[in-house]
Chain A
């Protein structure tokens, strides 16, 4: 429902004609705006653009959206592809291709600042920036509820491949953290 609404807002009702009259750059911007409203299936507070899963939008013949998986085996990858397909189809862009690129490999550094704030608001501690430096020896996570850094890691493998499990020693709240990757 939200998706449909979003598409109509962005593209308007007379979709095809409208897109045809736009420059390449405008098409790319509009598609990005559209994808900005496609939520991640497992963490719906952030969009696939916020997470850095959408790498590129290329207007052309054919137009292409380039996406990248977070973890190799992330089961959401397939759902994300279908959600993007549905959003594009719904906006009259059925002939836009979706391409998957593995290289360069996805990193949490690609999560936007806006995305990090949304994660925090949702109760998930965002990953520290500088994935290469932090991936294995991370400083204590900051509790998304009370802000304390008196926290401990319970498990490096959490409810999804991209998260680890922590506990706040100040407010006792358990929470997820986006693993630095």
Chain B
């Protein structure tokens, strides 16, 4: 990763992915289908919020303009966010949420393993910590894909619809410009393995939707930020 400036952008992408998905998952808090699921999704969100704090905190230090993780999370507008489009997609039903988590966590786990082994020590420290947490997330989501996919007619139909909807946002993760093309073969193998276990077929290819890494987001992100950023913007400097 040449140069501090590139490293800044890299850290922002990683932080934004974690932050936006954490915020999305938090929407389930108190609404999940079962208490255990409620706890699990909130726990996963918590891990991701923690990772976002580390990545954005590092980004702020690299930038050197006095912005900390909170400043980056709460005082940037939608065009400055660099998260992938996958994480900002609405929760939909539980199967759609699981589809998003399944595709993302499997990718994030591979990415965190790579970062943890890379020579950039500041990122590596965060990656090594995150990989232990994300391994749980990937496993949790994969187990639910199997349970829903190989479950009732209803759960199966919903799982297929959820995967179908999310599939168009997958290519962005592996885009050759600012994605991780080298992780694709292993990711494909993991996804195929779980889908086979769930008696599901790979979703049909779709035209990829790209743009999140360049700040071109769906309408959904603005709404999410409205809710997430309202308090610190309405009451700047507010503390607990």
Contact = CB atoms under 8 A, between A and B. Distances in A.
Interface string B125-152: 1101110110110011000000000000
A10 interface: no
Contacts, number: 71
Contacts of A159: 39
B211 interface: no
A161 B47 CA distance: 8
Contacts of A74: 46, 50
Given A135-B132, A136-B139, A72 B36 contact: no
A98 B130 CA distance: 22
Range for the number of chain A residues in contact with chain B: 20 to 34
Contacts of A105: 125, 128-129, 132
A111 interface: no
A6 B159 CA distance: 56
Given A72-B54, A72-B130, A181-B132, A157 B124 contact: no
Contacts of B126: 72, 102
A105 B49 CA distance: 17
B40 interface: yes
Query: Helix, strand, loop or mixed for chain B's interface?
Result: helix
Contact of B39 (A75, A104, A106, A158): A158
Nearest to A74: B50
Interface of A: 69, 71-75, 101-106, 135-136, 154-159, 161, 165, 181
Interface of B: 22, 36, 39-40, 43-51, 53-54, 121, 124-126, 128-130, 132-133, 135-136, 139-140
19 contacts: A71-B47, A72-B49, A72-B53, A72-B126, A73-B50, A74-B46, A74-B50, A75-B46, A102-B128, A103-B124, A104-B128, A105-B128, A106-B129, A136-B139, A155-B39, A157-B44, A159-B39, A161-B43, A165-B36
